[in-house]
Structure 1
Amino acid sequence: MPRNKEFEYEERLEKARDLFWEKGYHATSIHDIVDRMGLNRSSVYNSYGNKQELFLKCLENYAALKAAQYRHAGKNTSSAFEALAFTIRDVVEQTMKDKKACMIIRTIFELGNEEPAVSSFIRKNAGVLESIFRELVIRAKAEGTLKRDAPPDMLARYILTSCGSFYTRYLLNGHKKEVDEMVDFLIDSLRA
């Protein structure tokens, strides 16, 4: 029985996550949350906390999903550079498939430094994603497949920032081909 309750908790949390992801923090009301989650107001508060606490739980859920995607993307490749290239492509493809900006990036633009707990979480999450890219960069450098002499930390930040920017370009004109060309250019500029 506890497994079903736990599953239902996560399932409803994902519903709230998707609502915040679609509408943003400020545009999402408690009424919207209650409707989407299919719970009464007191159940939401008792199980998930207030709106900000629920939002943080949703961000954590989303961040865990993205970190798993990043880690899994390049698992079946023959070299670290191929894993890096595949991960970059996978991140961009998934964002375009979702047809909405990364929830974390959306939150940065919406809340900025307005909510200290949210800002702290976002910085921590960026560190997690950067570490995934940093590890791939270090491995590719050791293989001799990465030509850049730049420090791995800087390259990891640059790659992560670039991935976030590609969807912005896609929103501007809707041309996936242009985004693919820019992704290819980024990857080629790193290749030894």
Structure 2
Amino acid sequence: MARNKEFDYTEKLEIARNMFWEKGYNATSMHDIVAALGINRSSIYDTYGNKHNLFLQSLSNYATLKENQYLKAASAKETAIDTLEYIIRDVVRQTLTDNKACLIVKTIFEVAAADKEIKNFLIKKGEVLQSILEKYIVQAQKDNSIKSSSNSTVIARYVLSSFSSFWSHYILTQNKEEVNEMVDFLIEQLKK
């Protein structure tokens, strides 16, 4: 007879996610994972698979959080341009509050170039976030609150790539005011 798991799957996954987020994929060992989760190695392998599979599940968990953050922000405003502005400011505020880069951004720089499976996963998840932005960009272009006739996909990609730029500037300067000025500039450019 199979034994019931004596731990909460999601709770332990979130602990692993936060450890990968803090230390990075390469610096996190299976020993670190066992110690942080407080369960034995065989239970980890039985439940989550190897370190790579656990990392993918952690990324998936995080990507769902980000998607929900975008969707929640989108439901908070009435106009498309206000929604875009709210999403951008909310993502940057969360990054500065957490005082760490988005796990997806961190993984792009640390792992994606060398790991095709993770790269493909990140591309798919990025497309989800991009499509949320695109929806509101198209609406804002239709109601003329975004005057640019540039392709909505290009604009959405630009906004997403700006998030890593904001974070890199903050790492170097520790100046939230400068980052917020950059955010203001991005939003101003969207409205032109």
* Shorter-chain TM-score range: over 0.9
Aligned to 1:14: 14
TM-score (norm 1): 0.94
1:111-159 alpha-carbon deviations (Å, 9 max, x no partner): 1321111111011111111111101101111111111110000000001
Aligned to 1:171: 171
Structure 2: any 5+ residue segments left out of the alignment?
A: none
How is 1:127-142 mapped onto 2 (pairs within 5 angstroms)? 127-142=127-142
How is 1:141-160 mapped onto 2 (pairs within 5 angstroms)? 141-160=141-160
Name the CA shift for 1:17/1:145 in 2 (closer, same or farther; >3 Å): same
Aligned to 1:188: 188
Structure 1: any 5+ residue segments left out of the alignment?
A: none
Partners of 2:82 and 2:7 in 1: how far apart?
A: 36
Partners of 2:76 and 2:143 in 1: how far apart?
A: 17
Aligned to 1:105: 105
Name the CA shift for 1:51/1:173 in 2 (closer, same or farther; >3 Å): same
RMSD over equivalenced CA pairs, Å: 1.6
* Count of residue pairs brought into register by the alignment: 189
Name the CA shift for 1:129/1:181 in 2 (closer, same or farther; >3 Å): same
- Identical columns (%): 48
SS in 1 for 2:8: helix
Shift of residue 78, structure 1, vs aligned partner:
2.4
Give 1:59's aligned amino acid. Answer: L
